[in-house]
Amino acid sequence: MLEQLNQIESQALGELEAVQDEDGLQRWKVAHLGRNSSLMKTFDQLGGLSKEERPAVGRRANEVKRALESALEKSSSSLRQVALQRLLEAERLDVTLPGRTTLRGRLHPATQTLREVYRVFGEMGFQVYRSREVESDEFNFQLLNFPPNHPAREMQDSFYVDSGAQRGDNPILLRTHTSPGQIHAMREFAALNPDNPPPVRIILPGMCFRYEQITARSEMQFNQVEGLAVGLNITFGDLKGTLTDFARRMYGQQVRSRFRASHFPFTEPSAEMDIECFVCGGQGCAVCKRTGWLEILGCGMVHPVVLRNGGYDPERYSGYAFGMGPERITMLRHRIEDIRYFWSNDLRFLEQF
């Protein structure tokens, strides 16, 4: 009997060595520690043994049982260890490896300048007014006091959308400047109270299009920011004060500015505004072409004809307007030498801002 127990033990332990996984362990347990295993049957047979034999066999059977149970325990935990090890190997993650950089978007340099212009005029009480990019000749030119065939149109060669055959002298075109927005805005404001139109204080940003030879200095599409203030008792002094303040807020409190007489059909009198060259401080350099000054915008008092076309009686109301090219401002600021960079979508350019 004792001999038999020794054999049971060594056979079970031998088989256990070959077990590879959890299932195998389970099967082994049933075979060697289960109700029908030889070991458990030995316990059943104890009652049939003689008094002398029984204690020794009982003790030995218990020893074998404990030995098998502890071997099972050990083997089970080492199998779990091996499985975990394998999983760790397979799912290895090297946290010291540098990650892939995420590409961050950014604002286009023209947008950055536009937003700065909005901020400055916003602080001065101007609202942003959006106007359409496709216009009729009437709004783009005629209502702004450019009669058909007026030579001032020469400066703004246009993209006509139709031939004008059906529309006579009012063909459709892509706006050549933001100024037609002045008429749309004034009419919209005036409609609120036709007898006493409310004051207007707006900026009109947006894309303009001209049928131009594309060169380093001129593109066929570009942004403008138009400004318009209409009300009672608005003078040229208001225009100068507002635009001088704009220049200071945009370029620094020290910056000097000057106004030169000019001509636009929709303003009278008209002027061009220069600021002191911020590159050389007015000494004269390549950027300002040795003049010490940089031209930044056109402006003037709104022409009486334009006021009337907008629904404002020029006998009672006056106003000023201005127009600037933010790309040009951006070019001066960052010394960008070619305007074509703005819309050619070259990341090597765009990522510098």
Q: Per CB under 6 A, does 140 bind ligand DAH?
A: no
Per the DSSP assignment, residues forming a β-bridge with 173 are 135, 160
Cβ-based nearer residue to ligand DAH, 37 or 267: 267
Cβ-based nearer residue to ligand DAH, 179 or 330: 179
Task: Give the contact letters, 47-76, x = binds to ligand DAH (CB under 6 A), - = no.
Answer: ------------------------------
Q: Per CB under 6 A, does 300 bind ligand DAH?
A: yes
CB 273 within 8 A of CB 297: yes
Binding to ligand DAH in span 256-275, by CB under 6 A: 264, 267
Residue closest to 67 by CA, chosen among 151, 124, 5, 18: 5
Q: Per CB under 6 A, does 323 bind ligand DAH?
A: yes
CB of 270 to ligand DAH, least distance (A): 6
CA distance 156 to 218: 12
CB of 177 to ligand DAH, least distance (A): 3
User: Could you tell me which residues come within 8 angstroms of residue 121 by beta carbon, excluding any fewer than 6 positions away?
Assistant: 203, 227, 246
CB of 298 to ligand DAH, least distance (A): 3
Residue closest to 180 by CA, chosen among 132, 148, 147: 132
CB of 225 to ligand DAH, least distance (A): 10
Q: Per CB under 6 A, does 201 bind ligand DAH?
A: no
Cβ-based nearer residue to ligand DAH, 293 or 322: 322
Q: Per CB under 6 A, does 322 bind ligand DAH?
A: yes
Q: Per CB under 6 A, does 298 bind ligand DAH?
A: yes
Cβ-based nearer residue to ligand DAH, 42 or 113: 113
CA 119 remoteness from chain centre = 19
Select from 321, 329, 332, 336 the one that contacts ligand DAH (CB under 6 A). Answer: 321
Q: Per CB under 6 A, does 177 bind ligand DAH?
A: yes
Q: Per CB under 6 A, does 179 bind ligand DAH?
A: yes
CB 271 within 8 A of CB 299: yes
CB of 301 to ligand DAH, least distance (A): 8
CB of 272 to ligand DAH, least distance (A): 8
CB 294 within 8 A of CB 332: yes
**Which residue has the CB atom at the shortest distance from ligand DAH?**
323
Tell me which stretch binds ligand DAH (CB under 6 A): 14-22, 45-53, 189-197, 293-301: 293-301
Tell me which stretch binds ligand DAH (CB under 6 A): 1-9, 84-92, 114-122, 298-306: 298-306
CB of 96 to ligand DAH, least distance (A): 58
Give residues in contact with ligand DAH (CB under 6 A): 177, 179, 226, 264, 267, 298-300, 321-323
